């Protein structure tokens, strides 16, 4: 993907016995609209197909401060400028300082969970629409647009040794593992949440079925303070699990009994995809959020001995990919005229 450290080493690389996976983009453009979680403003968003090796690029269609019109912001860890209640990426080349897009983590998680390598995410405001507070609407958008394979091998970041960052009681770790597993622990004083832990093997079907629908959450007592800071102005019971007096306020309750920790997994998946490629390894997070996730990725990419760039997928993904290809081939045979 674009600007990923070490990508130059891929040139001339030979492919081993394990099958590579092709990069993927969308088959067609597709749009949605909603409010920004923090701005409360209406946002139109369109996902566009992109060429191989483009990576994920966010585009501010409402800005023309850069040569050529709209402003592009590559989705990379080093572009993250703010992590307060969401992940914000910026284009430092913008002389006005206005080229930023906030709350990108839910879209990033959907792209990661659906195996999309190359896409342009175009918005006409400073924030991604929150939709229902989860990644599920974005997963549905991707599925409606369709996925197209591309003539370039997918590239991965394989973790070679543990990398850890700690701040007070918060901790985030990446360690070697032949796959992509996320382990997360949270501990809130509210009885509505309490202590929760989950470990998820994030093959693509697992993300869509078990993680994508988990919604963001917050406490009613914090709303006025947040809004005075210019945050949470678009938050409502339609896009947030709200907790008041140690109980969930939403009439429809929770989608999962441990929806809170599942949403933290969702956030981590989105934040980790800002590394610029899928990670082959295990992530462990405890009481951490966007800030520590970003520090972890920056620390990893600043440690060349801690990772390698490879076109070889993890063993489980390779098996899954072979099964999927076989199923497609059999479907084509079944549909062919006799």
Q: Catalytic positions, please?
A: 290
Residue 244's DSSP bridge partners are: 247
**How many C-beta neighbours within 10 Å does residue 146 have?**
12
**Could you tell me the two tokens for 305?**
């001995």
User: Counting Cβ atoms within 10 Å, is residue 254 exposed (0-12), middle (13-18) or buried (19+)?
Assistant: middle
- Separation between Cα atoms, residue 104 and residue 88, nearest integer Å: 7
Cβ(202)–Cβ(278) below 8 Å: no
- Separation between Cα atoms, residue 207 and residue 316, nearest integer Å: 15
**Could you tell me the two tokens for 261?**
């920790």
**3 state DSSP class of 262:** helix
> Which is it for strands 88-90 and 80-82: parallel, antiparallel or unpaired?
antiparallel
- Separation between Cα atoms, residue 204 and residue 255, nearest integer Å: 20
In the numeric block, the tokens 């390598």 are attached to 117
**3 state DSSP class of 105:** helix
User: Counting Cβ atoms within 10 Å, is residue 105 exposed (0-12), middle (13-18) or buried (19+)?
Assistant: buried
Cβ(283)–Cβ(157) below 8 Å: no
* CA dist 231 → 87, 164, 178, 272 (Å): 13, 30, 39, 24
């Amino acid at each position: 993907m674009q600007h990923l450290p070490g990508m130059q080493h891929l040139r001339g690389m030979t492919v081993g016995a394990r099958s590579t996976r092709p990069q993927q983009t969308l088959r067609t453009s597709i749009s949605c609209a909603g409010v920004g979680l923090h701005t409360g403003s209406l946002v139109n968003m369109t996902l566009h197909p992109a060429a191989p090796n483009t990576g994920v690029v966010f585009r501010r269609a409402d800005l023309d401060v850069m040569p050529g019109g709209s402003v592009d912001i590559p989705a990379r860890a080093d572009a993250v400028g703010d992590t307060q209640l969401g992940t914000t990426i910026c284009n430092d080349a913008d002389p006005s300082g206005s080229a930023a897009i906030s709350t990108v983590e839910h879209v990033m998680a959907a792209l990661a969970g659906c195996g999309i390598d190359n896409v342009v995410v175009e918005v006409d405001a400073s924030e991604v629409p929150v939709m229902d507070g989860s990644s599920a609407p974005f997963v549905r958008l991707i599925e409606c647009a369709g996925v197209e394979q591309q003539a370039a091998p997918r590239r991965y970041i394989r973790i070679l040794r543990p990398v850890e960052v700690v701040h007070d009681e918060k901790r985030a770790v990446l360690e070697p593992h032949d796959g992509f597993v996320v382990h997360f622990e949270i501990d809130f004083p509210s009885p509505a949440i309490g202590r929760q832990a989950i470990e998820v093997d994030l093959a693509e079907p697992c993300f869509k079925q078990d993680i994508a629908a988990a919604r963001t959450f917050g406490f009613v007592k914090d709303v006025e303070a947040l809004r005075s800071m210019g945050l949470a102005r678009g938050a409502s019971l339609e896009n947030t699990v709200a907790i008041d007096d140690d109980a969930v306020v939403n009439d429809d309750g929770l989608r999962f009994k441990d929806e809170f920790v599942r949403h933290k997994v969702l956030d981590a998946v989105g934040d980790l995809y800002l590394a610029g490629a899928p990670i082959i390894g295990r992530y462990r997070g405890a009481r951490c959020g966007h800030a520590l996730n970003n520090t972890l990725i920056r620390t990893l990419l600043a440690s060349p001995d801690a990772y390698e760039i490879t076109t070889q997928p993890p063993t489980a993904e390779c098996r899954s990919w072979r099964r999927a290809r076989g199923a497609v081939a059999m479907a084509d045979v079944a549909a062919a005229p006799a």
